[in-house]
Copies of this chain bind each other. A is one copy, B any other.
Amino acid sequence: MHFTSEQHLDDGVLEREFTLGEIPGILWTPGSASASAPAPLILLSPPPLGLRKVYPRLAARALHSAAHGYAAATIELPGSGDRPRWPAAEQAVADLRRAMGAGEPVGDEIIDALILPLVERAVPEWQAALDALLSLPEIGGPVGYSGGVISIGTRLAVVEPRISAAVLFAGSFIPRAMFEEARRVTIPLHVLLQWDDEGNDRQAALDLFDAFGSKEKTLNANMGGHTGVPQFAGDAAGQFFNRHLR
């Protein structure tokens, strides 16, 4: 992990860009974080749109997290942003757009081709990022996950015991295989669903919520479109982390 730039944001938050091998990422640490007072960490998993594009939203969430004493970190998803192009993934996106543009139902093959390889590639990268981040003296446990592509969060919740609690966004296509995987999730979950998100399959989101094996799981559904999560819902997600990461 190599830091490539740093700047101080409001409230003493230190923002550092880094690379982890070929993968670019960003780490935000609160002014209070130090080797003697390591901060708990929230992994901010982005949508697959490129970190530059979603930077404003991620930075706002990181600042909000830092105000409550958390470090936050993100890495670029495979095939997104400045990372090498991934022709198979681009083909899957093209197939999806074609089907949606033609008003056709989005078949399982398209969803599987779009999501499953992304999960397979991204999850080990997030685990490698977690190794690197937790080796920094200013970062301690516990670790929360907040993101992005819900299947990545689901898989991580199953395979990565260092993640104690997760906020998941129910706004992306879900392969059928993930419903079975969801039953093996046991950590506390807080699932955000934008109820009137036209690009989202609401029933699939409800089915996935139902499938999660966690004893503590909350579905928090709100109005406002795909990116219109209300401030109070963001606050509720923050309170969820406060309950589980302290």
Q: Which residues of A contact B (CB under 8 A)?
A: 193, 195, 206, 209-210, 214-223, 230, 232-233, 235-236, 239-240, 243
Add 4 more A-B contacts to A216-B223, A217-B222, A218-B220 (CB < 8 A).
A195-B217, A218-B221, A218-B233, A220-B221
Min CB gap A214→B, angstroms:
8
Determine which residue in A216, A218, A222 has the highest number of CB atoms from chain B within 10 A of its CB, and name it. Answer: A218
CB neighbours (8 Å) of A236 from chain B are: 236, 239
Min CB gap A171→B, angstroms:
15
Looking at chain A's contact residues, is the secondary structure mostly helix, strand, loop, or mixed? mixed
Min CB gap A20→B, angstroms:
35
Min CB gap A54→B, angstroms:
24
Q: Are B223 and A220 in contact (CB under 8 A)?
A: no
CB neighbours (8 Å) of A223 from chain B are: 214-217
Q: Given the interface contacts A217-B223, A218-B222, does A243 sit within 8 Å of B239 by beta carbon?
A: no
Q: Are B219 and A221 in contact (CB under 8 A)?
A: yes
How long is the Cα–Cα vector from A230 to B188 in the complex, in angstroms? 13
11 contacts between A and B (CB under 8 A): A195-B210, A195-B219, A215-B223, A216-B223, A218-B221, A219-B219, A219-B221, A219-B222, A220-B220, A232-B240, A235-B239
How long is the Cα–Cα vector from A230 to B217 in the complex, in angstroms? 11
Min CB gap A49→B, angstroms:
26
List the 3 closest pairs (A to B, CB-CB), nearest first: A219-B221, A218-B222, A236-B236
Nearest B residue to A206 by beta-carbon distance?
B206
In-complex Cβ contact of A220 among B206, B215, B219 (8 A):
B219
Nearest B residue to A239 by beta-carbon distance?
B232
CB neighbours (8 Å) of A218 from chain B are: 220-222, 232-233
How long is the Cα–Cα vector from A209 to B196 in the complex, in angstroms? 12
How long is the Cα–Cα vector from A61 to B195 in the complex, in angstroms? 28
CB neighbours (8 Å) of A233 from chain B are: 218
Min CB gap A197→B, angstroms:
13
Nearest B residue to A217 by beta-carbon distance?
B223
How long is the Cα–Cα vector from A195 to B223 in the complex, in angstroms? 20
CB neighbours (8 Å) of A220 from chain B are: 218-221
